Amino acid sequence: MSNILVLIDSCEADATETINELLTQGRNLANQVNGSLEAITFDPRHKELAGAWAEHGVNVIHYLTNSALHDYGPQAWAQGIVQIVSLVEPISVISCGSDRGHEVMANVAAILDAPFVSNCLSVTAGERWQASRLQWGGSLIEEVTVASTFPVLSFALHSCETTLSKISEPLKIISHEIELDTESAKTIVIERTEKPEGQSLETSAVVVAGGRGVGSADGFNVLETLAKLLNGKVGCSRAVTNNGWRSHTDQVGQTGKRIAPDLYIACGISGAIQHWVGAMASKNILAINTDPEANMVKKADYAVIANLHEIIPAVSDEIVRRNGQ
């Protein structure tokens, strides 16, 4: 039988939706080849999570352990997955397109000298596999064929709508003690600090972002005031970080954060591809720019043609005035 192996990385925060999307893609692939969907997990909580995974079409869960594997290690995880590959003989291994998903799949592909097609949107199994995948941070789509009977794949985040597909056979959970060599143990996490719970740029409902048009580090003060009134966070474009006005942790874009707030207020941002791909998933975009021809203005849902240093304090004042009523 043709099986699909899927890495479920439930150890990272906010992963439930991502996992369900990945399992939907995995189940779809398994259906294409009349196979089963077998999950790999390193999460000791897998027994509590198993029911939810089964509802998205997982037939078997392989739980991998090793006494040295007290935390994440890309090469150790890959080595473990390769051992399950030789056991299950799947026709593909898949993961989600997160930093960790990409990293582990690239290691698996490197060990097996298999092709790795990253950030797929859709995949058709066959003698020559076909896939469409994201390039340029999501601004282009590339169609590829793969001349291999065993491609390694990662699926882009939000590449599909989640669907439930309950399997009639009972779910099997199998534990495996995997073997690790000293080489792959070299890249296991030695120390971890958790961020304090709270709002981040990624989880904030409102992001007020500034670009080159803000003009200086101090220029962000008006954005900070507005963001505070809206219980939001301040973001920025790459031009801003390159000028040293704000830290890279605030950067939205292809090489910064990908965000999807309810409202993204882009102040003095021209809207180059590099920035746009980080903000395009926002539910509403309001552009504030002096240039009505700016790309950000053309792509936004709403726009104000104004100097941000005048309009933003005016908006803050108006919010305070209405709140006072």
Q: Which of residues 26-65 bind other proteins (CB under 8 A)?
A: none
Q: How far apart are CA 9 and CA 23, in angstroms?
A: 11
Residues linked to residue 288 through DSSP beta bridges, in sequence order: 267, 304
CA distances from residue 24 to 3, 53, 95, 137, 323 in whole angstroms, order as listed? 15, 10, 12, 23, 45
Contact flag: residue 303 with other proteins (CB under 8 A): yes
Stretch that binds other proteins, among 24-32, 51-59, 158-166, 191-199 (CB under 8 A): 191-199
Contact flag: residue 75 with other proteins (CB under 8 A): yes
Q: How far apart are CA 55 and CA 41, in angstroms?
A: 16
Q: How far apart are CA 103 and CA 110, in angstroms?
A: 11
Contact flag: residue 255 with other proteins (CB under 8 A): yes
- What is the contact mask toward other proteins in residues 210 to 229, using x (rule: CB under 8 A)? -------------------x
Q: How far is the CB of 54 from other proteins (least distance, A)?
A: 25
Place of tokens 């089963």: 36
Measured from the CB atom, the residue of 175 and 216 that comes closer to other proteins is 216
R_g of the chain, CA atoms, integer Å: 23
Stretch that binds other proteins, among 31-39, 60-68, 80-88, 140-148 (CB under 8 A): 140-148
Measured from the CB atom, the residue of 53 and 129 that comes closer to other proteins is 129
Reference 253, options 245, 267, 241; nearest CA is 241
Contact flag: residue 291 with other proteins (CB under 8 A): no
Q: Within 97-136, which residues bind other proteins (CB under 8 A)? A: 99-100, 102-103, 105-107, 109-111, 113-119, 130, 134-136
Q: How far is the CB of 161 from other proteins (least distance, A)?
A: 17
Measured from the CB atom, the residue of 90 and 253 that comes closer to other proteins is 253
Counting residues that bind other proteins (by CB under 8 A) gives 103
Q: How far is the CB of 47 from other proteins (least distance, A)?
A: 22
Measured from the CB atom, the residue of 57 and 256 that comes closer to other proteins is 256
Buried b (16+ CB within 10 A) or exposed e, 73-97: bbbbbbbbbbbbbeebebbbbbbbb
Q: How many CB atoms lie within 10 A of CB 176?
A: 15
Q: How far is the CB of 18 from other proteins (least distance, A)?
A: 10
Run of H or E including 156: none
